[in-house]
Chains A and B, each alone.
Chain A
Amino acid sequence: MKSLFYYRDRYVRSQPSAFCPGCGGGIILNCFVRALDDLGIDKDRVLAVSGIGCSAWIPSPNFKGDTLHTTHGRAIAFATGAKAFNPDLVTVVFTGDGDGAGIGGNHLIHAARRNIDLKVILVNNMSYAMTGGQIAPTTLHGETTVTSPYGNPEFPLDITQLVRAAGATYVAKWSTYHVVELTNAIKEALTHKGFSFIEVLSQCPTQQRRIFNLRGPLDSLPPRILEMFGESTFIRGRPDRDQYVYAVPKGDIQAALKAATRLGEAKVVDHMAFGQVVKVMGDPEALKPGLMGLPSVRYVADKYEGKIELGLFEKKSRPEFTESLREIIRRAQGVEA
């Protein structure tokens, strides 16, 4: 086990961090440099490209290697040029939900279609965080932001499914709660030949406080949001063997908790789809009638209801773009492959 100092001294430019306290950006940088180190990839061969937004600051200036910090939404297009001209560059793109799926959505689709060997880490904090927390294409329906003060009238885009449909050959989705899985996914992406895409749900205590209506002191938020990511997600092909339901309170959460405790082991948790809810352990069929009858409970949700699916979504092989370009050069020069 290597110390944090090892990774910092080797891979991180010594800068005062520009991230807000509790930001997910540092976790993602950490997973990234560990993946590089575990695989023994020479960092001089790595090019980290980013656009505009908090995600862009993960590599620039933090990553102590070549970085290209570009314009809003265009990181993948810049990376395409560098990678196409020099395929030896291990080209990793850091982008955000607004950067990569909003303003830059077109480049994302077409890079996936080409199957160019870029590794794209899309940091999804469900808002335009750097500019003040406006609605993003990933903000959930009904959520409150500075540009949706009465609730978001739009529905979010499932970026992972979009990229998969566009033809990406490696697609995974994790969160900053799942650091081991995320590190392994980055390693898989780095060793995969072709367009590799990892969406990472990331915590933003600064903006998600409003979006998820989280109350309490600021320094309590990062762990709470991480726990919420764990609570509000499930993993493909890894069944959740626990039995439980969520009781959505009508008014005071403490009243709902008190009442629910009589029916089973219960605790208050944050849920991305329902806000603060009471998690009640036990057989759902046995719990539901009793919970629904409680005056302090508005709704009872099943354990998978409103949850976000994480895991590996695609891993397949198809001709990679820069190899096809090299084949074209051989063909044009009349050289037999």
Chain B
Amino acid sequence: MLKPGRHLVLGNVACAEGAIRAGCRFFAGYPITPASEISHHLAMELPKVGGVFLQMEDEIASIASVVGASWAGAKAMTATSGPGFDLMQENIGYAHMTETPLVVVNVQRSGPSTGQSTEPSQQDIYQAKYGAHGDYEVIALSPWSVQEMFELTVRAFNLAESYRTPVMLMSDGLIGHIEEKLVVPEEVQVVDRRKPSSRDATPWGTDDPSLVPEMPIFGMGHELLVTGSTHRPDGVRNFSPEYHQAIVYRIRDKILNAEAKIRDLHTEHLDDARVVVLSYGASARPSYEAVVRAREKGIKTGLCRLKTVWPFPEEFLSGLAERVEAFIVVEMNMGKLVREVERVVCGRAKVHSLSKVGGVLPPSREILEAIRRESR
């Protein structure tokens, strides 16, 4: 484990370090580029803190064992990339339905299929939200630096524990594979799941305004009935519309009601901006550069970088749309999150998509040109 202080490390190593600091004591994964270094580092470091590292037979088994470990009381994580993320979707849906806290790291690579397996992308941003069948609401974070690989991994665990839900850390092959400065803090703030107040606690129902039920774990005499089938607050399978609606609306609302608390934005110069560059993850790096250059030229532009992509900061952006002229949405895909921006802006400002596929970052000069064009 890295000592507090400054280090030069790989993004994936920073993620692994953040996980251990957040209390992660169980990791299961399957080798895949460009996520493997997270496994390598945790295989070395987790046993030192008494944690369990497993290399499973595939990604399906990896996420499954993470769910099992979480119910056995572990803070647990898996890490993968596109093809593995595909395979995990069914059990991610299971984790939503059973309200299992866990962290899934997706170091995104360029697809579809094997695609450019070593190149970065942000093509899975909707898969993070809609990957499994059924309705649910997801929390997804997007780091833009090695430092944030550490910080957002810690936050991912804290959010997972706070809201009893799977949290997606949507990194990419660029952030995972660059070496940058990492400052490891002396102390890390860690949140733990709410433990049951009594043996009669209902693990899937609560009167608490957070809508997050207490979570018993295996082996404590709770006679737990964990099931992916529609269930009553006590866990007993029941397919009635009432029970189904109660659980899926609560699973949705516990996230949506807390959107303002989960929201995490990095903004620059939004006060007087007429053109807003909206981006997330690696593609926010050239976006930031373009905004800085445009400002140097006196152009009234600003940056809105989503560190939390899901739940989408709808309220915030809607407010912004009232007073700006245009949004330029920069991402490494064929233009995905731009649709969400269009939906929220709803014609009140222009929305321009600037996206790149092929494993390349949208160049800052193109973003700068777009800023110029939109601010004319």
Contact = CB atoms under 8 A, between A and B. Distances in A.
Interface of A: 13, 15, 44-45, 47, 49, 60-61, 64-71, 74, 77-86, 88-89, 106-107, 109-110, 325, 328-329, 331-333
Greatest chain B CB density within 10 A among A65, A70, A85 is at A85
Given A61-B237, A329-B47, A84 B219 contact: no
A332 B218 contact: no
A67 B227 CA distance: 8
A69 B226 contact: yes
Nearest to B47: A332
B225 A67 contact: yes
B138 to A, nearest CB: 18
Contact of A89 (B26, B94, B219, B227): B219
Greatest chain B CB density within 10 A among A70, A79, A81, A107 is at A81
B68 A69 contact: no
A177 B69 CA distance: 36
B247 interface: no
Interface in B54-97: 54, 56-58, 60-62, 64-74, 76, 90-91, 94
B223 interface: yes
Given A74-B64, A106-B58, A328 B47 contact: yes
B74 A110 contact: no
A86 B51 CA distance: 11
Contacts of B305: none
Nearest to B102: A81
Interface string B213-232: 00000111111111111000
Given A89-B219, A333-B48, A77 B72 contact: no
A333 B91 contact: no
Given A81-B28, A107-B61, A69 B69 contact: no
B61 A80 contact: yes
B227 A69 contact: yes
A57 to B, nearest CB: 9
10 contacts: A45-B219, A66-B218, A66-B226, A69-B226, A77-B64, A77-B65, A78-B67, A81-B74, A83-B68, A110-B57
Contacts of B58: 106
Given A68-B68, A83-B68, A325-B52, 6 more contacts: A81-B28, A85-B73, A86-B219, A106-B57, A329-B52, A332-B48
Interface residues of B, number: 46
A32 B200 CA distance: 26
A44 B65 contact: no
B190 interface: no
Contacts, number: 139
Given A74-B91, A329-B47, A80 B54 contact: yes
A77 B60 contact: yes
B90 A85 contact: no
Nearest to A116: B54
B64 A47 contact: no
Given A84-B65, A85-B73, A69 B48 contact: no
B8 to A, nearest CB: 24
A295 B71 CA distance: 65
Contact of A81 (B26, B51, B227): B26
A60 B225 contact: yes
B227 A60 contact: yes
Those 4 A-B pairs whose CB atoms lie nearest each other, nearest first? A81-B65, A81-B68, A332-B47, A77-B64
A300 B172 CA distance: 67
B57 A78 contact: no
Contacts of B222: 66
B223 A70 contact: no
Interface in B80-128: 90-91, 94
Interface in B187-226: 218-226
A33 B323 CA distance: 68
A56 to B, nearest CB: 9
A62 B64 CA distance: 23
A86 B218 contact: yes
B178 interface: no
A86 B72 contact: yes
A85 B219 CA distance: 12
Contacts of A65: 223
Nearest to A52: B228
Given A71-B228, A77-B56, A86-B218, A61 B236 contact: yes
A110 B30 CA distance: 13
B5 interface: no
A60 B223 CA distance: 11
Contacts of B48: 332-333
A82 B225 CA distance: 15
Given A45-B219, A81-B72, A85-B25, A70 B94 contact: yes
A80 B56 contact: yes
Nearest to A67: B225
A15 B236 contact: yes
A331 B47 CA distance: 8
Nearest to A42: B221
A80 B68 contact: yes
Given A86-B219, A89-B219, A110-B57, A78 B50 contact: no
Contacts of B62: 77
Contacts of A67: 224-227
Greatest chain A CB density within 10 A among B25, B68, B69, B236 is at B68
Contact of B65 (A66, A80, A329, A333): A80
Contacts of B61: 74, 77, 80, 106-107, 110
A86 B91 CA distance: 21
A13 B221 CA distance: 14
B56 A84 contact: no
Given A61-B237, A74-B61, A77-B61, A82 B68 contact: yes
Nearest to A75: B64
Contacts of A60: 225, 227, 237
A70 B26 contact: no
A78 B229 CA distance: 16
A150 B126 CA distance: 44
B215 to A, nearest CB: 13
A329 B255 CA distance: 37
Nearest to B64: A77
A323 B224 CA distance: 26
Contacts of A86: 72-73, 218-219
